[in-house]
Structure formats: C-alpha cells, structure tokens
Structure 1
Amino acid sequence: MNKATEQRTAALRIPEDLFVIGQPFTRNELGAMAFRGYLRETLPGHYLGTRHRYTPTVRAKITAHVAGKQLHKSDVLIRATAAWIHGLISYCPTLNISSAHYRRPANPVHGVGFEFMQLELDESETLIRGPVLLTDTLRTVCDMACHDPLPWAVEALNRVVGMQDPYVNLQTITAKLRNFPVSSPVQRGLRLVESMEQQAA
C-alpha cells in the first residue's frame, strides 16, 4: 500500500469501525494505540481510527450508536453533548438528553453516562446532524454557560470566540441569555460571559 493510499480518508462504518473497551482490547491496549496515533478516543471507552474524518456528523453518528435505545426519535441532545458534536469541547463523559417526558435514570454504557431532563426549546434552536437532533451552537453555549462545569463552559466559549462567527459570539450569547427567565443559573451564565468580554477587550 503506497503512502497516498494510506492517507486517503476511509469510509466510516458504525459500529464496525468503533473500538470499544473489552471488545476485544483492554483499556490499556486501546490507550497505547491512541498514544501512538493509531486511534483517538471519542466518547469515553469508544475509539476511532485516525484514518477516519472526525467531523460533527461523525460524532453525531457515534453518539447515536452509543445512546442506542436511550435516544428516542424526538429527543434532543443538549449542553455538553451538543457542544462535543459541534466541536466546541474535546471531552464529553455523559450524554445530555432533553426528552418530552420524564425518563428514569439509565445505566452507563462502557463508561458513558446518561442525563435526562425536560428543556423548553424552540424549534428554531435545534438542528439535525446526521441521525440526531441537537441544539444549535448559540443555544448550546448559552445552556453550558448556565449549567455545565466551568472548565467545559469556558472551553466552549473560547472556541466560539475563536470562530469569529457574526451570529454566535459573546454579544449574541449575552443578548440571548437576557431573554431567558431570570434564575441563578442564568445569572451565572451572564457573569461568565461578561468576564470573558472584559478579558477580550
């Protein structure tokens, strides 16, 4: 096989191209292959060969496969999960799912947990990526600023700043947060975005 063929992007097949801990490799073996550059860890415990493109659609397909029956057709992926699919954060240990009705807690799948909630979303705040429905970038970073651990929220906001998108930036995030019902999480989000605006000034 020549070098050009080796570097060619391979067609992705899910689940065939996913390496999962214990099927048959151990965590240490998969970690060693990732360290050598053969694999990358996607969701916890799930690895993908680096010859595959790593796009939002690919991450959406991986998420749908890992979630399995826990992700219903009308469910929306939100917060850190949506941010991971969008490419705003590099790590997502839990699948955050907004469902129309109360859902009982689900057991983790190979180290990936599930968090269900009922989030009021306008249709304009969601989009389809591959096989899943998720919040758009603006709604995603607003929710993260309000609710997610600060390191993840800051990572997502920094990535947004770097995108230089005229429709998703610190100013539009602030404007959207001010339209949310007043609450302690929203106030936290506003303070976080304000502090980042001061740093960027």
Structure 2
Amino acid sequence: MPGTLQRPSSATLEPPVLMAGSPFTAVELQAMESDGVLHRLVGRVYVPAATRPTPELRARALSAALTPRVRERTVAGRMTAAWILGCAPPPELPVMLVESTRRIGRLGTGDRLLVHEVSFGPFDILEIADLRVTSGLRTALDLSLHSEERLALPVLRRMLAHPALGLSVGLVDRGLAALPNQPNKQRARRLLERLS
C-alpha cells in the first residue's frame, strides 16, 4: 500500500494548474507567461507566477499532463520523482515507471514521456496529490544506478540534505546492498563514496 504525504485538507487552498483548453488557449497561456502572470511548471502546464512550488503542486501539474491510463498504471520515477520532491530541475521528458508485469505497449503514452519497466518493492511508492511517485530512498537508488554521475551528484546531494526525506549515504548504501545483482552497482557505490 503506498504511503501518503499530507496535503492541505481544503481544495480551495490549492493554486490552479492550467493547460491549453482549460479554460485558456495555448497562445493565451504563453502570453500570460510573457506578462509574468503565469509560470510554466512542467511541459505545457502553468501555475500562477507567485505560487511557491510544493511536491503536491508539482505532482498535480505532472498529473494534469498525463493521460488517465498513464496516470493509473505508472509511477513517476528517477529525475522526475526527484523534481516532484523538490531536489531536481523540471524534467524535459517525464520519466514514468511501470511494473514489469504490465504491458507498456498498451499504455498509449503519446509523446513527451519516457517509460521504463521495473520491479517495485513494498515501500517504493508514495502517493502525492493522487500521483504515484517513487519514495525518496527508491528515487536515490534509481538515480545512483541509472543517471549520469554529473547529473545525479547534485540531485543526490540535495536529496541527502532534504530533512523531510530522511536519507543518508549509509541508508542508500544499505539499500544498494539489498538489491539483487545490478549492472551499475559498483558505479553507484563509487558515486556514494563521492557523496560521503
């Protein structure tokens, strides 16, 4: 069962997430961005310029950009999860993970999305604003195993410094040790040594 991050109980506290057609056109949204009224948060999703991004707002923005089928069957992961957690820049192409027992070909993801087949453990997934996202530890493990070192290092440093995530180099190292054989496990250990 996924964990849940707490969010404000009243939907009226949540800033709007805007995309073309709801209720403005793409041209109108771009004009409001040029005027400083809106800020593009991810992809073609905008929020009011004065809004402070939170994990919940980032999750809502990404969720708005996904088809319902993709939202239901995938989990935001890797750099996309790190962005939602507030530790990475917005992704150019969101990375969504799908359980390897599901069929990717039937997702109908459209364009502007990367999908990877993975296996999840019982504590690998959180729910943030109705979007499934990999946990801080799973995200750190995935970044150390699958991201280029020059991209992963600054993001992992921010994740380790983020008090709400409760991560340490030792915890991530123990997580790596618990994984079955992985092609990049030694490289990930060297990356963690640089972080410590």
Alignment-derived partner of residue 12 in structure 1: 15
Residues 43 and 166 of structure 1: CA distance in aligned 2, closer, same or farther (over 3 Å): closer
Q: Following superposition of structure 1 onto structure 2, how do residues 49-60 of structure 1 map, counting pairs within 5 Å?
A: 49-60=48-59
Counterpart-to-counterpart distance in 2, 1:163 and 1:51: 23
Question: Are 1:107 and 2:103 an aligned pair?
Answer: no
C-alpha contact 2:160 2:169 (8 A) present in aligned 1: yes
Q: What is the CA-CA distance between 1:61 and the residue it aligns to?
A: 0.5
Q: Aligned pair count?
A: 181
Gap change, CA 1:124 and 1:11, over 3 Å in 2: closer
1:101-180 aligned at under 5 Å gives the runs 101-104=102-105, 106-108=109-111, 113-164=112-163, 167-180=166-179
> Shift in Å at residue 31 of structure 1?
6.5
Query: Quick one: percent identity of the two aligned structures?
Result: 18
Give 2:55's aligned amino acid. P
Q: How far apart, in 1, do the equivalents of 2:29 and 2:47 lie?
A: 15
Give 5+ residue unaligned stretches, structure 2.
Answer: 1-11
The TM-score, its normalising length taken from structure 1, stands at 0.75
Corresponding residue to 1:24 among 27, 31, 34: 27
Q: Distance in 2 between matches of 1:17 and 1:50?
A: 17
Pairing of 1:74-93 with structure 2 (within 5 A) = 74-93=73-92
Instruction: Say which SS state the counterpart of residue 50 (structure 2) adopts.
Output: coil
Structure 2 letter corresponding to 1:142: L
Counterpart code for 1:23:
A
2:193 match: 194
Q: Which structure has the larger Rg over C-alpha atoms?
A: 1
For 1:39-54, list aligned pairs within 5 A.
39-54=38-53
Deviation at 1:97, TM superposition (A): 1.6
Q: Take 2:45 and 2:148, find their aligned partners in 1: how far apart are those partners?
A: 23
By how many angstroms is 1:128 displaced? 0.6
Q: Is the 8 A contact 1:18 1:46 kept in 2?
A: no
What secondary structure is seen at the aligned counterpart in 1 of 2:66?
helix
Write the distance in 1 (CA, Å) between the matches of 2:14 and 2:94: 25
Deviation at 1:17, TM superposition (A): 9.7
Kept in 2, the 8 Å contact 1:42–1:48? The answer is yes
Contact 1:18–1:48 under 8 Å retained in 2: no
Task: Give the TM-score, by structure 2 length.
Answer: 0.77
1:140-177 residue CA offsets vs partner (Å, 9 max, x unmatched): 01101111233331122110232256831111111111
RMSD: 3.0
What letter is aligned with 1:64? S
Are the equivalent residues in 1 in contact too, given 2:77–2:133 (CA < 8 A)?
A: yes
- In 1: Cα distance, 2:150 partner to 2:93 partner: 15
User: How far, CA to CA, are the matches of 1:59 and 1:17 in structure 2?
Assistant: 17
Q: Which has the higher contact order (CA 8 A, sep 6+)?
A: 2
